């Protein structure tokens, strides 16, 4: 029962590792704000290591509702997230080469826990930004939690939250591992 | 016999009535079916919301000192760009930078805008203009439609005959309208012929430093210089200008400068003049290198032309130039090739003021005299090389063929056109399509505003039979204009955030007020919807100084968002500046009035714009 994963499975796991590593270079998550004055939309685009988009403009507008400023230094995760993901990618690669089902399963579990934590982290920030509003802000709105995925209305803005290329690569990579685990469940 | 008359007339009347009431008169028009490709004039000038005009029109604002920007074909006024005059709408003339540009003057007489060129075609980068009122030249950057530099041109007075730009913007030439002694020094008018000069200046422009510079000058005879054009193609090293008052009259020019039958076109080779300067063939006067043509011969020639000419225009192929006397009925087509040959063969009719005069006959190619057309002023060209000349006295634009002299078309305008401008009509490749007549009189054309009538610009479709298709009133004074394809201009919308920019502040917590002796430096920000001058202060939007202090306010608009312009004005201090998104602007003033003065944002910026205020408190001296 302690046979090794097949060579093709090992190769698939390696691909999963590459996908995970590649996701570092793509945006993972984003939010677009659309208002009558901004038909072209304002963007916050989140990479594992940086923020992009019209952050300063969004901050300028958010001060009216008393929201804290988005900035890279407010998100310490952006400093170490690339290492975690890079490390995980190496772990997956290692599991692929080691070719032990249990090892791969353990990695997948770690992977899943990391993913859940990541989603929870985004949620935690959204909650923090949306509920800790300055009570003296000129525009009073009820505290709110923007959704991690989907549409929401804040004042004159409609927001669209979405997952992007990086998360898709991550998802594909995870599914690939699950597929290998499933395929090899009998053999090993 | 007579019985059938009532019968017949009854039948006829009945038939007529039936025809009138029941006949389908559309039959006739149906046969001449409306071609859907033929647009009505209203459709030709209508630019639906969401679409943009095809051309920018830059119209000189004459003594308004400003430049008017229009869209063509809609003829919608898009913007007034202040150049030589204060403009409170944009704060131009109050902040340190624009105050310095204006050099203490409060107005100017803006004439003859000219685009920068690359290989004889507009490149959409810069726009030059001159100030006849105070002898200056200006350059506007077309990335933001703002003036970058203004220089005073010494030894000269009233560069009206300008600006004209050479093939690759090597020089902007500024020949002058009024002759004065060099340096505008005092000299009796009895010594006019000896001591006065009509100086032409070659101004160069450095794109990197965005600075204008008088490279050298030519001390032309004491005549008046009116209009000019640079050569193209085979004539690209050359340029032509018209001159009047070669009589050298010193009073009542209306009579005295209209005596001689002929005045001159000045033809010069600027490449050779440039070389003369390099070879040291010049005198240094008031810090300028001046070529005296009578001392350093060659490169400048005179060609007789019908008296008191206005325009002189080079054809797009650069082979000919066209000029005419303002009061003469006919235009003359001159040939560059013939002029070059005459110069080569030293075929001169003599000299005037030390400058060789070419024979009219040996340079002239043809005289053109459209029937009853009077007062030819200025010529533009279309994509087929056809010429369009404004007729000031007979109030019309005449289209004619420079190759044959044949009149092709004419259209009446309202009234008295001075210049006209065709789409890219003075480049090596005119676009055709549109021509605008810049009319001097507009009585009865628009709703009355009292005795001062707006002047007018009329848009003429020249793609087929010439037709006036739109008319737009304009502030004084549209003198000359340039029309450029809209896609040649690339503007930016927000100043880049430059953390190293001197005196800029980008974070609220970095704002501060520093005192050095009696100078108070404020490093503040403007953002939707507040001013912050000193974040650590109890009231960050208040500037408190002592009576007599010099206040230097550096204000950065940290809203990096398109369209969020902030203004800054202080009540009763006669101050108003503007800060564009991402821009830092500096205002310097003496707090010489003690008291309490509200300050506020003048440019509507946001829902809480009305709250964007603060105070300047000036503590009285004890
Ligand atoms: Cu404002």
Q: Which of B527, B607, B608 sits opposite A60 (nearest CB)?
A: B527
How far B305 CA lies from chain A's nearest CA (Å)?
A: 59
Q: Distance from CA of residue B424 to its chain's centroid?
A: 14
pLDDT at B20: 44
CA proximity to B231, closest of B305, B356, B335, B309: B335
pLDDT at A17: 93
pLDDT average, residue stretch B513-538? 96
pLDDT average, residue stretch B517-529? 96
Where does residue B257 rank: exposed (0-12), middle (13-18), buried (19+ CB within 10 A)? buried
A60 touches chain B (CB under 8 A): yes
Is the preceding omega at residue B180 within 30 degrees of 0, hence cis? no
Q: Which of B559, B561, B608 sits opposite A138 (nearest CB)?
A: B608
CA distance B263 to B303: 8
CA proximity to B570, closest of B522, B606, B607: B522
SS3 label, residue B96: helix
pLDDT average, residue stretch B560-578? 96
CA distance B407 to B314: 19
Q: Which of A57, A64, A138 sits opposite B560 (nearest CB)?
A: A57
Q: How far is CA B248 from CA B178, B189, B195, B307, in A?
A: 11, 10, 12, 13
Which residues lie below 8 Å from residue A4, measured CB to CB, with a gap of 6+? A99, A100, A188
CA distance B49 to B30: 33
pLDDT average, residue stretch B308-322? 95
CA proximity to B281, closest of B216, B340, B220, B236: B216
pLDDT value at B266 more than 70: yes
Centre of ligand 1 from the C-alpha of residue B251, in Å: 54
- Kindly provide the ipTM of the predicted complex, given to two decimals: 0.81
User: In chain B, pLDDT over 70 holds for what percent of residues?
Assistant: 94
pLDDT value at B31 more than 60: no
pLDDT, tens digit only, all 188 positions of chain A: 456 888 888 889 899 999 999 999 999 999 999 999 899 999 999 999 999 999 999 998 999 999 999 888 888 889 999 999 999 999 988 888 888 888 888 888 998 999 999 889 989 999 999 999 999 999 998 999 989 999 999 888 999 999 999 999 999 999 999 998 888 887 65
Confidence class for position B29, pLDDT limits 50, 70, 90: very low
Cβ B528–A60 below 8 Å, yes or no? yes
How far B615 CA lies from chain A's nearest CA (Å)?
A: 21
Cβ B608–A56 below 8 Å, yes or no? no
User: In chain B, pLDDT over 90 holds for what percent of residues?
Assistant: 85
CA distance B233 to B32: 46
Q: Angle, to 10 degrees, between the axis of helix A77-98 and the axis of helix A101-131?
A: 160
pLDDT average, residue stretch B153-178? 93
User: Alpha-carbon Rg of chain A, whole angstroms?
Assistant: 20
Q: Distance from CA of residue B241 to its chain's centroid?
A: 18
Span B188-220, pLDDT tens digits? 999 999 999 999 999 999 999 999 999 999 999
CA distance B557 to B560: 8
pLDDT value at B13 more than 70: no
pLDDT at B4: 54
Span B316-367, pLDDT tens digits? 999 999 999 888 888 999 999 999 999 999 999 999 999 999 999 999 999 9
Centre of ligand 1 from the C-alpha of residue B541, in Å: 13
- Tokens representing residue B158 in the block: 């009233």
Confidence class for position B28, pLDDT limits 50, 70, 90: very low
Cβ A60–B561 below 8 Å, yes or no? yes
Span B443-467, pLDDT tens digits? 888 999 998 888 899 999 999 999 9
SS3 label, residue B290: strand
CA proximity to A129, closest of A25, A36, A48, A55: A55
Higher pLDDT, A73 or B401: B401
First-to-last alpha carbon distance for chain A, in angstroms, is: 5
Cβ A57–B608 below 8 Å, yes or no? no
Confidence class for position B37, pLDDT limits 50, 70, 90: low
Q: Distance from CA of residue B409 to its chain's centroid?
A: 28
């Amino acid at each position: 029962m302690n046979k090794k994963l097949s060579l093709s499975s090992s190769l698939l796991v390696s691909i999963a590792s590459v996908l995970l590593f590649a996701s570092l270079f793509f945006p993972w998550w984003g939010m677009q704000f659309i208002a009558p004055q901004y038909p072209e939309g304002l963007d916050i685009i989140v990479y594992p290591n940086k923020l992009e988009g019209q952050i300063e403009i969004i901050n300028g507008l958010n001060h009216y509702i008393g929201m804290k400023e988005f900035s890279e230094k407010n998100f310490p995760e952006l400093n170490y997230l690339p290492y975690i993901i890079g490390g995980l990618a190496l772990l997956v690669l290692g599991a692929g080469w080691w070719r032990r089902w249990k090892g791969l399963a353990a990695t997948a579990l770690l992977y899943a826990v990391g993913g859940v934590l990541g989603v929870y982290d985004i949620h935690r920030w959204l909650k923090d930004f949306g509920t800790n509003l300055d009570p003296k802000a000129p525009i009073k709105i009820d505290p709110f939690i923007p959704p991690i995925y989907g549409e929401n209305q804040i004042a004159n803005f409609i927001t669209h939250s979405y997952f992007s290329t990086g998360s898709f690569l991550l998802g594909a990579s995870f599914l690939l591992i699950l597929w290998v685990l499933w395929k090899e469940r009998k053999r090993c | 016999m007579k019985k059938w008359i009532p019968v017949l007339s009854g039948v006829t009347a009945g038939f007529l009535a039936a025809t009138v009431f029941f006949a389908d008169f559309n039959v006739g028009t149906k046969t001449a079916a409306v071609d859907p490709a033929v647009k009505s004039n209203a459709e030709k000038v209508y630019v639906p919301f969401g679409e943009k005009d095809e051309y920018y029109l830059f119209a000189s604002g004459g003594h308004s000192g400003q430049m008017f920007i229009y869209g063509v074909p809609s003829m919608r006024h898009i913007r007034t760009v202040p150049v030589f005059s204060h403009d409170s709408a944009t704060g131009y003339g109050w902040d340190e930078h624009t105050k310095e540009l204006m050099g203490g003057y409060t107005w100017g007489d803006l004439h003859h805008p000219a685009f920068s060129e690359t290989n004889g075609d507009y490149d959409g980068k810069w726009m030059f203009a001159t100030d006849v009122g105070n002898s200056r030249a200006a350059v506007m950057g077309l990335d933001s439609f703002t003036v970058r530099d203004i220089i005073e041109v010494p030894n000269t007075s009233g560069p009206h005959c300008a600006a004209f730009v050479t093939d690759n913007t090597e020089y902007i030439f500024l020949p002058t309208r009024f002759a004065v002694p060099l340096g505008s020094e005092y000299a009796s008018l009895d010594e006019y012929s000896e001591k006065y000069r009509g100086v032409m200046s070659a101004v160069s422009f450095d794109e990197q430093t965005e600075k204008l510079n008088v490279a050298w000058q030519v001390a032309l005879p004491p005549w008046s210089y009116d209009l000019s054009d640079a050569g193209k193609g085979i004539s690209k090293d050359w340029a032509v200008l018209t001159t009047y008052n070669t009589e050298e009259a010193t009073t009542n020019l209306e009579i005295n400068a209209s005596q001689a039958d002929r005045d001159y076109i000045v033809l010069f080779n600027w490449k050779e003049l440039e070389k003369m300067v390099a070879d040291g063939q010049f005198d240094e006067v008031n810090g300028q290198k001046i070529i005296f043509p009578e001392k350093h011969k060659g490169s400048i020639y005179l060609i007789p032309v019908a008296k008191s000419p206005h325009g002189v225009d080079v054809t797009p192929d650069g082979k000919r130039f066209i000029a005419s006397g303002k009061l003469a009925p006919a235009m003359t087509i001159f040939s560059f090739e013939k002029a070059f040959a005459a110069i080569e063969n030293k075929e001169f009719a003599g000299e005037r003021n030390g400058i060789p005069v070419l024979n009219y006959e040996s340079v002239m190619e043809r005289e053109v005299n459209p029937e009853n057309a009077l007062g030819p002023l200025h010529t533009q060209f279309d994509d087929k090389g056809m010429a369009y000349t404004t007729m000031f006295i007979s109030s019309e634009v005449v289209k004619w063929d420079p190759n044959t002299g044949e009149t092709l078309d004419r259209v009446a305008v309202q009234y008295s056109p001075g210049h006209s401008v065709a789409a890219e009509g003075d480049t090596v490749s005119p676009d055709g399509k549109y021509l605008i007549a810049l009319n001097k009189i507009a009585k009865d054309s628009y709703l009355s505003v009292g005795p001062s009538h707006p002047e007018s610009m009329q848009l003429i479709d020249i793609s087929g039979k010439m037709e006036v298709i739109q008319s737009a009133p304009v502030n004084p004074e549209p003198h000359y204009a340039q029309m450029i394809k809209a896609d040649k201009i690339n503007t930016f919308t927000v100043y880049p955030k430059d953390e190293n920019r001197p005196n800029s502040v980008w974070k609220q917590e970095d704002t501060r007020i520093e005192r050095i002796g009696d100078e108070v430096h404020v490093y503040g920000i403007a953002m939707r919807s507040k001013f912050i001058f000193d974040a650590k202060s109890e009231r960050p939007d208040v500037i408190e100084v002592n009576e007599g202090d010099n206040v230097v306010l550096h204000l950065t608009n940290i809203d990096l968002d398109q369209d969020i312009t902030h203004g800054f004005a202080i009540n009763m201090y006669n101050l108003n500046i503007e800060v564009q998104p991402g821009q830092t602007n500096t205002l310097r003033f003496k707090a010489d009035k003690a008291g309490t003065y509200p300050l506020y944002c003048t440019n509507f910026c946001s829902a809480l714009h009305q709250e964007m205020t603060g105070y300047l408190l000036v503590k009285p001296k004890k």
